[in-house]
């Protein structure tokens, strides 16, 4: 499936790895990429991740997540996950008032009001915009009602501490569950759609 280029506003999709108690802060040892070290678990999860990435042509992140990605993925010349190719191909937007030179081709630094910048970005033609990591940015986007979909890879872990998906009582929004997928590793994908405003 190729990204849509029609006149309908683009979807902003928050994709997060998350614990059962809603922690998305990846510090500590709870997060294992693809849910397990077992090859069959990795392959199962990778297939779904590739399907979800297929509709997106833009990545939106905060500075810390951007710098972590930039310091790792461009150097992965033998990457078989498809993530390096995807990140090099899509338009990248980083929200920062301090980053001078992004030093990654296809990257634009957004320095203005985050709500205005992202709303304008959503109005441009193109495919989905994906946000991942970027806890502070995700909180701001959620409070502003700019998130169209949450894609949550729920790990069977209770962390007990760490930054969570929602940092306070947001404006109430009814979400519609549009997909569940239980992986044999114990990770569960939950996709929730928010109504358009």
- What's the CA gap between 19 and 196, in Å, rounded? 27
Domain ranges of the chain: 24-193
- What's the CA gap between 149 and 167, in Å, rounded? 18
Judged against a pLDDT cut of 80, whether residue 21 lies above it is answered with: yes
Per this entry, what is the length of the chain?
197
Judged against a pLDDT cut of 90, whether residue 197 lies above it is answered with: no
pLDDT tens digit string along 39-65? 787 888 889 999 999 999 999 999 999
- The arrangement of strands across the sheet holding 149-155 comes to 107-110, 91-95, 56-62, 128-132, 12-19, 149-155, 188-193, 176-182
Q: Are 24 and 16 in contact (CB under 8 A)?
A: yes
Domain 24-193 in CATH 3.40.430.10? The answer is: yes
**If pLDDT is split at 50, 70 and 90, which confidence band does 6 have?**
very low
**If pLDDT is split at 50, 70 and 90, which confidence band does 89 have?**
very high
Taken in order 53, 59, 61, 63, the sign of the CA dihedral is positive
At 4 the pLDDT is 42
pLDDT tens digit string along 115-174? 999 999 999 999 999 999 999 999 999 989 999 999 999 999 998 888 999 887 666 778
The residue with greater pLDDT, 182 or 42, is 182
At 169 the pLDDT is 64
């Amino acid at each position: 499936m190729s990204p849509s280029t029609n006149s309908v506003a683009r979807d902003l999709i928050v994709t997060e790895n998350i614990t059962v108690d809603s922690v998305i802060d990846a510090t500590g040892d709870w997060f294992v990429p693809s849910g397990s070290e077992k090859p069959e678990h990795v392959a199962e999860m990778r297939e779904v991740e590739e399907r979800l990435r297929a509709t997106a042509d833009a990545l939106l992140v905060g500075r810390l997540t951007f710098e972590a990605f930039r310091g790792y993925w461009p150097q992965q010349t033998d990457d078989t996950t498809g993530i390096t190719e995807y990140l090099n191909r899509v338009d990248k937007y980083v929200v920062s008032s301090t980053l001078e030179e992004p030093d990654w081709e296809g990257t634009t630094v957004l320095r203005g009001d985050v709500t205005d910048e992202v709303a304008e970005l959503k109005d441009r033609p193109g495919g989905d915009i994906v946000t991942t990591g970027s806890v502070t940015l995700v909180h701001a986007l959620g409070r502003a009602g700019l998130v169209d979909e949450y894609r949550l890879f729920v790990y069977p872990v209770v962390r007990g501490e760490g930054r969570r998906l929602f940092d306070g009582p947001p404006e109430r929004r009814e979400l519609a569950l549009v997909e569940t997928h239980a992986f044999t590793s114990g990770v569960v994908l939950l996709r929730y759609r928010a109504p358009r405003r």
